[in-house]
Amino acid sequence: MSTMRSVVAGAMGEPSEVLQLQMSSVPQPGPRQVRIRVTAVPVHASDLHTVRGRYGFVPEFPTTPGIESVGVIDEIGSEVDGLAVGQRVITAGVRGTWQEYLVADAERVLPVLAGMSDSTAAQVLSNPLTAVILTGEVLDVQPGEWLLQTAAGSTVGQSVIQLGTHFGFKTLNVVRRRSAVDDIRALGGTAVISTEDEDLRARVAEIAGGEGVFKAIDSVSGQVGADVSRALAPGGELVVYGALSTHRQTEADKLTIPVFARSLIYETKTVRGFWLFRWFSQTPKECMTATINKTIQLLDSGVLRVPEGQPVPVENFSDAVRLAEAPAHGGKPLLVFES
Ligand SMILES: NC(=O)c1ccc[n+]([C@@H]2O[C@H](COP(=O)([O-])OP(=O)(O)OC[C@H]3O[C@@H](n4cnc5c(N)ncnc54)[C@H](OP(=O)(O)O)[C@@H]3O)[C@@H](O)[C@H]2O)c1
């Protein structure tokens, strides 16, 4: 048990070229820290953008990617209360999780409910949490209101649809493939637009009619983001939280949203951003804990259901990396550390 496996990016670059499996010493927890034997970590596209040096923070290289994890506490440092060896836990806002043993500050470690699968637990604190924050504290979507969203089949998008069903708001869902439309309907989406064969603005007007749509979230950016802002009713608000249209975050026109100036000036629409890491760093601890607990309860009660992850043994990490950005990839690739 003195050495462990981790996936490390030796330098900034394309993940398929710079990531490698490394053996290193198992770290020791210091005061107010615990050590976790990690069982599963998701591979998000944002992890890969971090390796490319194109995410919202640029780590020092070499770096271990990863922002979420589930595992079991196997050692506890001094001055730690309320956590025990053998407890199954997740980490909140801890970076560098793609390793077999992870040392984390005790205040960033949360116990996992007994009935929650490792696949779900490993994915709580990015996508479902983002959906809860966007629809709740950011846009405060009310029962009966429309919420327009892009990339509706994403993990975030699916959670948003489930929240709409539960809290009674209507989701107007945009997908890029006609073949995804039935899945969105089956999930409970109120209406679906496929940009493969439909005009986004014309369809929003048809579906929402005279009342219009006042609230939207977009994770595609580029022209799609611009079309969404233009489709909103006067006074409407768009929150941008991703840039999926530029696959490797290299194409400037897709990292830009060409918002129609008249919409901003004469229709006083708002476009603003959201980033979970900023939320983690700026939200008072009690509010953060309350929102995280609310998300966990929604998952535990079955209101939110995260698509089952696709386990990939850590030795085959390059398969997980490929899958994470493949079209129609289904559940998240999960690196698993089987002994
Ligand atoms: N700002 C934040 O704090 C924050 C937090 C969490 C997530 N996010 C962002 O949220 C987005 C979704 O993340 P996720 O993990 O939920 O995604 P995911 O589960 O990996 O799914 C990606 C989805 O995006 C769709 N998509 C990919 N490229 C597209 C394009 N060019 N145009 C339209 N749709 C496209 C895919 O459609 P197909 O099914 O057709 O492939 C798929 O439905 C990402 O941009 C992520 O970075 C941001």
How does DSSP classify residue 285? Answer: H
pLDDT at 35 (0 to 100) = 98
Contact 11, 59 (CB under 8 A): no
Helix axes 200-208, 222-231, angle to 10 degrees: 30
Residues pairing with 21 in the sheet: 7
CA of 233 relative to ligand 1 center, distance in Å: 25
For residue 210, what pLDDT is reported? 86
Predicted pLDDT at 1: 55
Residue identifier of the C-alpha nearest atom 44 of ligand 1: 242
**Percent of the chain with pLDDT strictly greater than 70:** 99
Amino acid, single-letter form, for residue 167: F
Q: How many CB atoms lie within 10 A of CB 160?
A: 28
Which of 155, 219, 240, 308 maximizes ligand 1 atoms within 8 Å of its Cβ, making it the mutation to test the pocket? 219
Mean pLDDT over 84-109 rounds to: 96
DSSP conformation letters of 184-233:
HHHHT-SEEEETTTS-HHHHHHHHHGGG---EEEESS-HHHHHHHHHHSP
Residue 310 pLDDT exceeds 60: yes
What is the residue with the minimal CA distance to atom 21 of ligand 1? 154
Distance CA 242, CA 220 (A): 6
The answer to whether residue 247 scores a pLDDT higher than 80 is no
Q: Rounded to whole angstroms, how far apart are CA atoms 132 and 119?
A: 19
Instruction: Give the pLDDT confidence score for residue 252 in this predicted structure.
Output: 84
Q: Are 100 and 21 in contact (CB under 8 A)?
A: no
The C-alpha atoms of residue 143 and residue 217 are separated, in whole angstroms, by 17
**Stretch 260-279: mean pLDDT:** 96
pTM for this entry: 0.96
At 50-86, the pLDDT tens digits run 999 999 999 999 999 999 999 999 999 999 999 999 9
What would the mean pLDDT of 31-37 be, rounded to a whole number? 98
Which residues are bridge partners to 110 per DSSP? 90
Q: For residue 264, what pLDDT is reported?
A: 95
Domains, the chain, in order of start with CATH, read 3-124+306-336 (3.90.180.10), 127-277 (3.40.50.720)
Q: Which residue has the tokens 């439309």?
A: 181
| Parallel/antiparallel/unpaired status of strands 19-25 and 3-9 | antiparallel
Average pLDDT over residues 168-186: 97
Q: CA 168, CA 144: separation in Å to the nearest integer?
A: 6
What is the C-alpha separation between 274 and 276, in angstroms, rounded?
7
The overall average pLDDT reported for the chain is: 95
Whether the per-residue pLDDT at 237 is higher than 90: the answer is yes
- Which of 77, 56, 68 lies closest to 118, judged by CA? 68
What are 104-122's pLDDT values in tens digits?
999 999 999 999 999 999 9
For residue 244, how far is its CA from the centre of ligand 1 (angstroms)?
Answer: 6
Residue to mutate, 134, 154, 179, 200, ligand 1, most ligand atoms under 8 Å from C-beta: 154
Rounded Cα gap, residues 134 and 241, in angstroms = 9
